[in-house]
Amino acid sequence: MNQFIPLSQPSITNLEIDYVTDVLKSGWISSLGKYINLFEERFAEYCGTKYALTTSSGTTAIHLALVTYGIEADDEVIVPDLTFIATANAVTYTGAKVVLVDIEEDTLCIDPVQIEKAITEKTKAIIPVHLYGHPANMIAIDKLAKKYNLLVVEDAAEAHGAAVKGQKTGSLGDCGIFSFYGNKLVTCGEGGMITTNDEEFYQKAKHLRDHAMSSSKRYWHDRIGYNYRMTNMQAALGLAQIERLDELLSRKREIFKLYEKTLSNISGIKLNFTADWASNVYWLVCLEIEGYTEKERNNLMLALSHEGIETRPYFYPISDMPMYESNRIHTPVTHKVYQRGINLPSYFELKNQQIDYVCESLQVYLARCLNLIG
């Protein structure tokens, strides 16, 4: 093994360095400074919303949005069973009940048919997750929300720039949330964003984000608030990233096409699906091998790691987690898909030759397995 190919790594150029250096020289390194406003304005413009509000993480963005909407104990919030745990945990922080539903096998996103089956008198909100860069079916979800008078909080943590019929994620529900963790399409190291067209919601969330401190009477607080602010340093990094987002997404699509060219014709292999109404940003390249068990998938990942290739498994079903055992329901698609899925390296600086190496290593392993079976 003469190389290591990580799953992901951030793309940092002189633009990011210049902006962050400007912050350091200015001394405005905490939660005040020009880059916070600039980042929020530019991000709202990109998503096509009136407002954007920075937060300390994607998780706190979800929690802040739910609290602002008044979600509380005895309420129910519908969440897909296949997503990062933060989506469910943020609901639990409010005291509300997480209601888990199954996903669509092709998009890997929450299934609108299963959403409707799960709606009760206590249901207050739906959190569709745009998983791995593919948007959920917001056309159907928004119809359900209107029919049952429910809130829609888009979890677009993995889908900056994705779209449904040309309309970008973050502008498709009552509000959207984004993550800027180090492996995301736009990174601040850590951080998050809430997007919305609702001024009243925006002002209330902004108030709660900063300990619910009065804007006219400093250090006066009228309710329990939160320290969910982003720093000016993070915002400077984020501003540079959003200015480069079209470039970053273009390369992501190129990387997927290169994988697709080599792997899509191999029997039993499935790569990222894109619905005809969707624009996929391919946050991570997804690879599923038909019929694989969790053990077989893990063996594949181990074999690739021996070749210096980092991969990761799909998320485990939330309903299998010990703290959500009481929420457990039958989600056959989630439980079939998670066992057979892995994510392949797909970061901006990944070289074409490295993609070839990943594909070749994968093909060699699969051929060896077939020979062993034969």
Residue 5 within a domain: no
The answer to whether residue 140 sits within a structural domain is yes
Transcribe 173-225 into DSSP letters. SSEEEEE-BTTSSS--BS-EEEEES-HHHHHHHHHHHBTTB-SSSTT-BSS--
Of the residues 243, 272, 287, which one is the last residue of a structural domain?
243
Q: In a 3-state reduction of DSSP, which class is residue 297?
A: helix
**325-339 tens-digit pLDDT:** 888 889 999 999 999
Indicate if 203 and 321 belong to the same structural domain: no
pLDDT of residue 371: 61
Confidence band, pLDDT 50/70/90 cuts, at residue 172: very high
Say how far apart CA 313 and CA 11 lie, in whole Å: 23
Q: Is 40 part of a structural domain of the chain? A: yes
Integer CA distances (angstroms), 51 to 40, 46, 171, 196, 239, in order: 8, 11, 10, 5, 15
Task: Please indicate, yes or no, whether residues 210 and 281 belong to a single structural domain of this protein.
Answer: no
Mean pLDDT of the 343-349 span: 97
Q: 280 and 212, same structural domain? A: no
Last residue of a domain, one of 223, 243, 263: 243
The closest alpha carbon to 13, from 242, 236, 240, 351, belongs to 240
Residue 8 lies in a domain: no
Amino acid 328: pLDDT: 81
Instruction: For residues 184 and 223, state if they share a domain.
Output: yes
Q: Is residue 252 part of a domain?
A: yes
Domain of residue 305: give its range. Answer: 245-373
Clarify whether residues 182 and 305 are in a common domain: no
314 and 324 in a single domain? The answer is yes
Cα of first residue to Cα of last residue in the chain, in angstroms, is 28
267 has a pLDDT exceeding 80: yes
Is 151 among the domain residues?
A: yes
Clarify whether residues 277 and 201 are in a common domain: no
Burial class (CB in 10 A: 0-12, 13-18, 19+), 210: middle
Domain identity same for 120 and 187 = yes
Question: Which one of 196, 217, 243 terminates a domain?
Answer: 243
